[in-house]
Amino acid sequence: MVSAEEFKRYTLRTFIYVLLLVGTLLFLLPVYVVVVTSLKDPATINLASTWQLPTTLHWQSYQEAIEAFGPRIWNSITLSVSATILSSILGSLNGYVFSKWRIPGERLLFPLILFGMFIPYQAILIPLFQFMRGIGLYGTIPGLVIIHTVYGLPITTLIFRNFYTDIPDEMLEAAAIDGAGFFQIYTQIIFPLSIAGFVVVIIWQFTQIWNEFLFAVTMTSNAYEPITVGLARLAGGEAVKWNLPMAGAVVAALPPLLIYIVMGRYFIRGLLAGSVKG
Amino acid sequence: MRNRRDRTIAFLMVLPTLILIGIFVYFFIGKAIFTSTTDWGENPQQPALAENVVTSDVGLQNYDKLMTNVIQANFRNSLANTFFFTLFFVVGSTVLGMFLAILLDQRIVAEGFFRTVFLFPMALSFVVTGTIWRWLLQPSGGINLLPTLVGLQPMHFNWLNSKETWLAFRWEAVPQYVTFVGFAVLTIIAVRRALSHDWRTARFAAAAAVIILLVFVAGLWNYVWLPLDSAEAEQAIAPKGFNAALLGIIIAAVWQMSGYVMAIFIAGIRGIPEDLREAARVDGCGEIGVYRYIILPQLSPFVLSAMIVLGHISLKIFDLVFAMAGPDNARTVVPGMLVYTKGFRQNSFASASAIAVIMLFLVALIIVPYLWTQLRSSK
């Protein structure tokens, strides 16, 4: 016998799971369509059969998309890796100073640095364009690396500062009494305890820079475009063969998606750090 | 540890960052403001990209034109679009995100799986999302065909190219709307606070309501919301309202960002001690009552920070619109797009800068108070 109370509880539980499954279905619909379309023979793609499975698997679209991206894949890799490394190292040092040292005016300087991650980059785009042209780095990968490093500093500084605040000051004091200076404390105590912090920051920076579009489309020349611009080109225009942009979307989405699936926990920490206090 | 030498080293270590941020953020902002008061790129005699381009000071003329000149009507449309986009995107993502977080809070089997699914769009580029949804929103395919899978008639909505405008409003009347709504909301807050004897907040809200009214009566709006040069012509070519073509972009944006809100809420819910919920249950609250009276009030700071982060994203939105509707679609134009098209296609650097400065101002309006309270509370 099931009591009325239990019956009500089971109905409610079933209802919750039904809602969750419907939600999952809706969230994954676009994924289904992308994968299915990317595997169809272009001749068989038409709007009426959007939701149908391909009759034969047509893998060539992926090869074509990768060929169409050409150097842009490598550009994105170089760019994302370099800017991620630079902004993580600088961010770690900044976080160490802002959490464990007193510097003059820090109560004002820290918010001023943080404000840099919220500004609409459109506001600095034209002066940045002039500046990059002036120093001869406009349209180059090193130019874009500098841009992403600098605008990555606020978030990396913030994440490391919040991370280091949890390291007890007594540990540092003890080391200082043993004669350790600024760098010894960093290399012997702070850095070894930062691995998780570095993982969070590296994942966050890499995915953000890989996915970025505004600087990518305004600060590059044809040969040095990142992959997001390549995808926009692939999908732009009116008469699009949809198998290519869909395969391209999968290729462009794959690196951040793999990172997210494997290291989701760290990705979420980066995500929440963006709302400042977390 | 705190000796002088090490403190100097510490300062030297952050100095590069301070200099870089100083140049790339604050100096550039200053330069953009300066550029917005010149005629760089607006003067046919002076090619914008010439080696020694001569510009002259035009004061606030570029801003003036943005608000009045019929040629700049697309800027005013972009403001209207941003307003509706922000409204529906922020409300949509917050409500959906909160709903998902509450569902996942019910001791779910495979909770990790569901969380991963709802959050994965956050790992994608807006360009990827835009490309996918552009295909899904084709007029005679994708989403419009979904009803046929369960035997219903297909939909025929022209998602990204609809010419319809809903919720039409008169541009000239915006100061009235703002005054009326602001006054009404603040008065209600004042009365409700007064009824619960929270005199400080009540007085504050009442004062703000009076100020809004006074600003309107004194005619201060006339300096900001300038009268249009040719109101009828503009009404004919660019009616103001919620452009239906934005709807698909809003759906894609909600799909991408509601997981973020969910993650914030889950983090918030985790922070509420179980005893508190237990106590409420003992006091006879049902499960819904626990959410209504215990959890949601505790979450309000999280709701606020989620809405602010989403709001500022929506003020700067660019890539998603670019990938879904293209850079030249007049129905879906947003300020971020105009900075791109005016600045980097037409080289009208001065008016692009003026738009950029307005964007910065709008973002600063919500971000500066936010940062200030966040950092103060963390001390």
Q: Which residues of A touch B255 (CB under 8 A)?
A: 27, 30
Of B11, B323, B326, Cβ closest to residue A103: B11
pLDDT exceeds cutoff 80 at B201:
yes
User: For chain B, what percent of residues have pLDDT higher than 90?
Assistant: 78
Torsion, CA A236, CA A242, CA A248, CA A253, rounded to 10? 100
Residue B102 in contact with partner chain A when CB distance is under 8 A: no
B161, B326 Cβ separation under 8 angstroms: no
Mean pLDDT, all residues of chain A: 93
Please answer yes or no on whether A213 and B363 come within 8 Å at the CB atom: no
**A214 close contact with B: CB closer than 8 A:** yes
Query: How much is the mean pLDDT over chain B?
Result: 93
CATH superfamily of A62-273: MetI-like (1.10.3720.10)
| pLDDT above 70: residue A16 | yes
How far, in Å, CA of A34 to CA of B129, rounded? 10
Q: Identify the pLDDT of residue A276.
A: 59
Q: What is the mean pLDDT of residues B300-323?
A: 94
Cα separation, B290 vs B322, in Å, equals 43
Buried-exposed string A158-189: b where 16+ CB fall within 10 A, e elsewhere: bbbbbbbeebeeeebeebbeeebebeebbeeb
**Quick one: tokens of A245?**
């942009």
Question: What's the half-sphere exposure (Cβ side, CA atoms, 13 Å) at A13?
Answer: 9
B165 Rama sector, left if φ>0, alpha if ψ -120 to 50, beta otherwise: beta
Give the domain ranges of chain A. 4-58, 62-273
Lowest mean pLDDT among A41-45, A75-79, B265-269: A41-45
| ipTM given for this complex | 0.95
Average pLDDT, stretch B33-39?
Answer: 96
Give the pLDDT band (50/70/90) at residue B1.
low
A163: tokens are 């991370």
Mean pLDDT is highest, among A53-57, A114-118, A234-238, for A114-118
Q: Is the pLDDT of residue B85 over 80?
A: yes
| A278 has pLDDT over 50 | no
Q: Decide if pLDDT at B328 tops 90.
A: yes
Which residues 213-272 in chain B show a CB within 8 A of chain A? 255, 260, 263-264, 267
Per the DSSP assignment, residues forming a β-bridge with B38 are B57
Number of Cβ within a 10 Å radius of residue B18: 17
Q: Do B141 and A253 touch (CB under 8 A)?
A: no
Kindly tell me if the per-residue pLDDT of B14 is higher than 50.
yes
Q: Is the pLDDT of residue A67 over 60?
A: yes
**pLDDT at residue A238 greater than cutoff 70:** no
Report CA-CA distances (Å) from B34 to B37, B46, B59, B64, B224: 5, 18, 9, 15, 19
Subunit contact B24:A116, Cβ cutoff 8 A: yes
* pLDDT tens track for B101-160: 999 999 999 999 999 999 999 999 999 999 999 999 998 888 999 998 888 999 999 999
pLDDT band at A1 (very low <50, low <70, confident <90, very high): low
Is the distance from CB of B62 to CB of B351 less than 8 angstroms?
Answer: yes
pLDDT at A239 over 70: no
The conformational region for residue B53 under phi > 0 = left, psi -120 to 50 = alpha, else beta, is beta
Does the pLDDT of residue B352 top 90, yes or no? yes
- Taking CB atoms and an 8 Å limit, are A121 and B378 in contact across chains? no
Q: Is the pTM of this model over 0.90?
A: yes
CA-nearest residue to B342 within chain A is A126
What does the pLDDT look like over A21-63, one tens digit per residue? 999 999 999 999 999 999 999 888 888 888 989 988 999 999 9
- How many angstroms from the chain centroid is the CA of residue B122? 17
Chain B residues within 8 A of A260 when measuring between CB atoms: 119-120, 122-123
> By CA distance, what is A262's nearest residue in B?
B116
Please state, in angstroms and as integers, the Cα–Cα distance from residue B334 to each residue in B282, B327, B338, following that order. 52, 10, 7
> Rounded to whole angstroms, how far apart are CA atoms A167 and A194?
10
Q: Is the pLDDT of residue A227 over 90?
A: yes
